[in-house]
Each structure stands twice: as structure tokens, then as C-alpha cells.
Amino acid sequence: MDYTVFKASAPGSLMLMGEHAVLDDKLALCVAVGQSVNVMLKPRNDDQIHITSDVFSPYQTTLSQLALIPPYDFVLGVLLAYRDNLTSGCDLAIDADFLPTLGLGSSAALTVASVAVIRQWLEHSFHLPTIMHSARQIVRHVQGCASGADVAASTFGKIVAYRQFDIEPVVLEQIPALTAVYCGYKTPTPQVITRVKKYYENRAEKLNRLFDEIDACTTAALTNWQAGDWESVGHFMNLHFKLQQQLGVSDVALNHIVGKLQQQKNCYGAKISGSGLGDCAIALGQPEPGLFPDSTLMDARQFKVKYSNTGVVLHDTVY
């Protein structure tokens, strides 16, 4: 029996700027956070696939019967993508430093870590651009529509400046203080994307103009980010939020959170992080701790963003 055990970890992520417009090949900024998803793989001597996690019930299938079954659809998507290279089944154990409902890009991180550990098992090269492209293709297959910015952050770490058709993102070294507030609920990204498309289906010119304005904000923020001009970066984050409101992806809770953050004297700017209609808001700076939850949003959670200086990593193989 083969007692070899492989393990990979990938950080979660938060979108900083460029949401929705990145789907139109506009610029996006995304940060890798200090909480990770870990995937451990043990080869089997049969064709069985056994998946366990610290959140969901165990799942079993076989190589020949692989299908995209929630909540394990992303890791099953990785197995499907590499099935022709697999000569046996495996046991996969998944654990994470954060809950999948928290809005920290858990699906992207899980996919990246799963791709890395499968490639380690198959003795494929640990090549970050290849891992990113493979994971991005799998996420798109499972989810139907995805920019891949979160995949890039989980792969490369730090803060990435990303366009979806780039071979490799630009990794930024400057890392300022960031604060996030989870509003207490999340609308699945594909649903938000579909809603935006439907709302603007007869107003394509206006939607394209919004995307161009979001791209201009993100590009200007990137220039000032590289110069360390955080006040200007915050200004463009605030402008970006107004465009998110026009796009229709803000709601009462997010308006409340972002507005309260923007009023803080130690906050340069704030906006929605992610596709919107729930999930997180993000602020550049250090607003007063304990702003949330408040009397309006009892389920909101405020936390300081911890950065990950590394992207996906392989751990020592155990024999």
C-alpha cells in the first residue's frame, strides 16, 4: 500500500478594485489574505474517491462516476480535469482557516490548492502561471463565469494587478493597512453577474461606459498605489463605490457599511469588495475597531485584513 501523503495550501483573497469590469478584460486589483485553504491527498490502490472537510459531510464516488456535485464541485472539477492522468483514486481532506461564507475567495483558494496537490501527485512541474491557468479554467467550468482575479491572488500571493487574458499578473510589493467588514450574507457571484447583465441587456452602451469608468478608477489607483499615495488611492476607491451603486450591486446594508467607513478619519476610502449584493466591504486604512456589528447590522463582522506574502505552497511530502 502507498502511504505517501501530499499537501498544498493556498490563501484566500479579497477583491480591491475592478469588480465586474474585469470580466470585460479591464484591470482588477486583488489581495491574498492570511487565511488559507489546505488540501491533503493520499493515493489509494483502487478507483475510489473519498473527500472529507472540516465543514461539510464526507462524500464518496469513483473515478468513472465523477460529476460536479456541490458542495465539492470545485475539487471534483479539478479531479475531472486531471482524470485522464490518474491511475487510481485518492483520499482528499480539506480544511480552512476561515468559513466559506465569509467572502474570502474560498472556492478559488480550494481550486488552486487542489490543482497544486494533484500536480504534485502526478509529478508535474510547480509552475505558478500553469497552476493559475488550470485553476481558472476549472473555476469557469464549474461556476459558468469568473474573471480569475481571485485565482491569481491565491496562486501568486500579495496583491496582484490582473487582466483576465494576461499570461501572468503584476505582483505589487506595497502593502498598506486594510480593513474588511462582512455584512452577514452573500449572494452567489454568478447570480449577481446574471442580474447585472439582465438589468443592462438593452443598455449596453451605458454598461460599457460604467466598465470604462471603473477601469479608469482602478488604473489611477494602481498608479498611486505604486507611488504610495494612499490618499489618492482612497479617493479612487470612493469613486469606484459610486460606480458600483450605479451598476446596481450595492444594497441598504452595503450602503450603510461603506458610508460609515468613509466617515472615519483614519480611513482613506472604502467600497464593496467582490461582486456585491452582500459579501464584504473593504476600507483602506485603520478605521475605529468595533464599528460593526452595530444596531443596524447585528450580523456584520469587522476584521483587519492580514496579508499573505506567499501564494500557493506545497508542503513536505510524507511517506
Longest dimension (CA), the chain: 62
Per-residue pLDDT for 281 more than 80? Answer: yes
pLDDT value, residue 174: 83
Question: What is the average per-residue pLDDT within 18-32?
Answer: 96
CB atoms within 10 A of CB 50: 15
pLDDT over threshold 70, residue 2:
no
Q: How far is CA 126 from CA 84, 207, 313, in A?
A: 19, 39, 9
Name the percent of the chain lying above pLDDT 90.
90
The SS3 call for residue 29 is: strand
The pLDDT of residue 55 = 93
Query: Distance (Å, rounded) from C-alpha 58 to C-alpha 280?
Result: 29
Q: What pLDDT, on the 0 to 100 scale, is given for residue 3?
A: 67
In the structure, what pLDDT confidence band is assigned to residue 280 with cuts at 50, 70 and 90? very high
Question: Has residue 21 got a pLDDT over 70?
Answer: yes
Average pLDDT of the chain, as a whole number: 94
The band of 29, judged by pLDDT with boundaries at 50, 70 and 90, is very high
Q: What is the pLDDT of residues 95-137, one digit of tens each?
A: 999 888 787 899 999 999 999 999 999 999 999 999 999 999 9
Q: Cell match 510547480: residue?
A: 126
Q: Output the CATH code of domain 6-173+308-314.
A: 3.30.230.10
What's the pLDDT at 317? 72
Beta strands in the chain (DSSP E): 6-17, 28-43, 48-53, 59-62, 90-96, 159-162, 170-172, 178-182, 267-273, 280-285, 301-304, 313-314
- AA identity, residue 67: A
pLDDT above 80 for 1: no
Check whether 67 has a pLDDT greater than 60: yes
Confidence band for 163, pLDDT divided at 50, 70 and 90: very high
The secondary structure element, H or E, covering residue 299 is: none
**Confidence bin at 166 (pLDDT 50/70/90):** confident
Query: pTM here?
Result: 0.94
Angstrom CA distances, 112 to 12, 77, 89, 152, 167, stand at 10, 11, 20, 9, 16
Domain boundaries, the chain: 6-173+308-314, 178-304
CATH class (in words) of the domain with range 178-304:
alpha beta
